């Protein structure tokens, strides 16, 4: 991973330039930032060679495995990566995220890790039904499965046991929260909350990638505090924090996303905040503190 | 306007296209990747992989 132009100070790493990455590149240019774009599909990293010039890297690689190893390789070469490899590692794994949130004393749904599908059945009995089973590493709500009762759980575990990857057999199980028809997405950049939106969808999974709609709202002090604390707990400088409210209206942290997709959020908040510009501003501030 | 490598229809692009930008063919809805901008060349975008996305 040897960028060709030593004069550039910033590097945007991605393999897919979506609307979000276009906004980020536009923001870099508006702010006059010297940057280079690197297609991560062409990147390779020599072990025995440090970077000629340290860069501040914005990691926008869409695939978790590639994002994680890119961050590790770039940090090993002496660059500063946002988000860090450690944060990408924690955020990319639901169990690690839950452990970090619990260690910070933040409220989360009751959760258990079954080391085999059989053990997960026992864990689900302890959690109680209805519950949710999620892949440890997954995105856009893929394979997140509602489990209303023991009979369904047994069938789901049979399917999980038949999956080829050993990691798939480790089961993340969580109580199903009787939430309103919405959840909350908060975006945090550099320890500041940029805003909060409600996400509503026809499906029970309220991912924007699954067609959920977004609507900005003024967060309570509890939600602000929780979103900031969740980003800090996983060490993410740029974080998409997902929260839900339980039947009593108490907010719980579900997960923290390191590769924040913000198109739906931006549509909802309109001119109130420019997420890409705030990320660019944060990177410039961070570069000053790292390199000057 | 460049042509879609899937259906050969013309693909309208926004101003300031970027390398690796993802666009959709208005005729066949295939997801396309801009692989060069001068001149503009399009390729079928890579399939979504299991660990993609937030």
**A2 pLDDT tier (thresholds 50, 70, 90):** low
Is B20 domain-assigned? yes
Q: For residues B29-49, give the mean pLDDT.
A: 95
Is B14 domain-assigned? yes
Beta bridge partners of A175: A131
Is B53 domain-assigned? no
Best A4, A60, A64 member to test B by mutation, with max B CBs in 10 Å, is: A64
Which CATH number is B38's domain given?
2.20.28.160
Q: Is A183-271 the same fold as A110-175?
A: no
CA gap A216, A135 in Å, rounded: 29
Is B19 domain-assigned? yes
Q: For residue B17, what are the domain limits?
A: 1-48
pLDDT tens digits along A35-87: 999 999 999 998 888 888 899 999 999 999 999 999 999 999 999 999 999 99
Cα torsion through B38, B40, B43, B45, rounded to 10:
90
pLDDT of residue A4: 47
pLDDT of residue A1: 64
- Cβ-defined contact of A140 to B22 (cutoff 8 Å): no
Q: For residues A137-147, give the mean pLDDT.
A: 88
**A131 pLDDT tier (thresholds 50, 70, 90):** very high
Contacts of B45 in chain A (CB under 8 A): 16
- Cβ-defined contact of A63 to B20 (cutoff 8 Å): no
* Total number of domains in chain B: 1
Is B54 domain-assigned? no
Output the six-digit token pair for B6: 């899937």
Contacts of B21 in chain A (CB under 8 A): 17-18, 22
pLDDT of residue A183: 93
Q: Is the pLDDT of residue A120 over 50?
A: yes
**A8 pLDDT tier (thresholds 50, 70, 90):** low
Q: Is the pLDDT of residue A140 over 90?
A: no
pLDDT of residue A179: 76
pLDDT of residue A203: 74
Residue of A nearest to B33 (CA): A16
pLDDT of residue A291: 85
| Chains A–B, number of C-beta pairs less than 8 Å apart | 55
CA gap A263, A268 in Å, rounded: 9
Give the gap in angstroms from C-alpha A292 to the nearest C-alpha of chain B: 31
Q: Which of B18, B33, B53 has its CB closest to that of A62?
A: B53
Tell me the CB-side half-sphere exposure of residue A91, using CA atoms within 13 A. 32
- Cβ-defined contact of B54 to A37 (cutoff 8 Å): no
Span A10-91+281-291 CATH architecture = 3-Layer(aba) Sandwich (3.40)
Whether the CB-CB separation of A50 and A27 falls below 8 Å is answered with: no
pLDDT of residue A5: 45
Residue of A nearest to B34 (CA): A17
pLDDT of residue A181: 83
Q: Classify B45 as helix, strand or coil.
A: coil
- Cβ-defined contact of B52 to A37 (cutoff 8 Å): no
Mean pLDDT of chain B: 94
ipTM of the complex: 0.89
pLDDT tens digits along A187-207: 999 999 999 999 997 777 777
One CATH from 3.30.70.260, 3.30.43.10, 3.30.1490.20, 3.40.50.1970 for A110-175: 3.30.1490.20
Q: Look at A7 and A126; give whichever has higher pLDDT.
A: A126
pLDDT tens digits along A270-285: 999 999 999 999 999 9
Contacts of A258 in chain B (CB under 8 A): 54
One CATH from 1.10.3720.10, 3.40.50.10320, 3.10.450.40, 3.30.470.20 for A183-271: 3.30.470.20
Q: Which of A62, A257, A258 has its CB closest to that of B52?
A: A62
Alpha carbon separation from A77 to A15, A61, A90, A277, A284 (Å, rounded): 20, 18, 21, 27, 20
pLDDT of residue A236: 98
Q: Which of B21, B34, B54 has its CB closest to that of A139?
A: B54
pLDDT of residue A201: 79
Is B29 domain-assigned? yes
- Cβ-defined contact of A16 to B20 (cutoff 8 Å): yes
Task: Count CB atoms within 10 A of the CB of residue B2.
Answer: 17
Q: For residues A91-113, give the mean pLDDT.
A: 98
Please state, for a pLDDT cut of 70, what percent of chain A lies above it: 97
CA gap A11, A218 in Å, rounded: 34
State the Cα angle at A95 between A89 and A99, rounded to 5°.
Answer: 90
- Cβ-defined contact of B53 to A209 (cutoff 8 Å): yes
Mean pLDDT of chain A: 93
Domain ranges of chain A: 10-91+281-291, 110-175, 183-271
- Cβ-defined contact of A65 to B51 (cutoff 8 Å): yes
Alpha carbon separation from A218 to A107, A194, A200 (Å, rounded): 21, 11, 16
Is B27 domain-assigned? yes
What is the reported pTM? 0.93
Whether the CB-CB separation of A242 and A185 falls below 8 Å is answered with: yes
Is B17 domain-assigned? yes
Instruction: Please state the three-class secondary structure of A209-274 as a single string.
Output: HHCCEEEECCCCHHHHHHHHHHHHHHCCCEEEEEEEECCCCCEEEEEEECCCCCHHHHHHHHHHCC
H-helix or E-strand containing B37? strand B31-37
Q: Residues in chain A whose beta carbon is closer than 8 A to a beta carbon of chain B?
A: 14-18, 21-22, 25, 37, 39, 62-65, 92, 137-140, 142, 209, 240, 257-261
């Amino acid at each position: 991973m040897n960028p060709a132009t030593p004069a550039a100070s910033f590097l945007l790493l991605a393999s897919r330039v979506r609307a979000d990455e276009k906004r980020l590149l536009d923001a870099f240019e508006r702010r006059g930032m010297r940057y280079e774009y690197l297609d991560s599909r062409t990147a390779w990293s020599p072990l025995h060679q440090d970077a000629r010039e340290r860069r501040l890297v914005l990691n926008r690689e869409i695939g978790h495995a590639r994002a994680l190893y890119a961050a590790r390789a770039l940090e090993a070469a002496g660059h500063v990566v946002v988000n860090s490899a450690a944060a990408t590692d924690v955020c990319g794994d639901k169990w690690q995220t839950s452990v970090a949130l619990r260690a910070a004393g933040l409220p989360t749904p009751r959760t258990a890790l079954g080391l085999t599908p059989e053990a997960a059945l026992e864990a689900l009995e302890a959690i109680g039904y209805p519950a949710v089973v999620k892949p440890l590493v997954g995105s856009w709500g893929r394979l997140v499965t509602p489990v209303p009762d023991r009979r369904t759980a047994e069938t789901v575990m049979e399917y999980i046991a038949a999956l080829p990857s050993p990691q798939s057999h480790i089961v993340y199980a969580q109580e199903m929260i009787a939430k309103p028809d919405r959840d909350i997405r908060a975006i945090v950049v550099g320890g500041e909350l940029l805003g909060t939106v409600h996400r509503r969808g026809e499906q029970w999974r309220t991912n924007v990638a699954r067609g959920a709609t977004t609507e900005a709202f003024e967060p309570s002090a509890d939600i602000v505090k929780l979103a900031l604390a969740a980003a800090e707990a996983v060490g993410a400088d740029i974080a998409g924090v997902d929260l839900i409210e339980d039947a009593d209206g108490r907010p719980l942290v579900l997960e923290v996303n390191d590769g924040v997709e913000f198109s739906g959020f931006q549509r909802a908040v309109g001119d109130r905040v420019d997420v890409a510009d705030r990320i660019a501003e944060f990177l410039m501030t961070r570069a000053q503190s790292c390199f000057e | 306007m460049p042509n879609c490598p899937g259906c050969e229809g013309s693909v309208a692009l926004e101003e300031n296209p970027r390398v690796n930008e993802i666009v959709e063919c208005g005729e066949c809805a295939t997801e396309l990747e801009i692989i060069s901008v001068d001149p503009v060349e399009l390729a079928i975008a890579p399939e979504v992989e299991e660990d993609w996305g937030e």
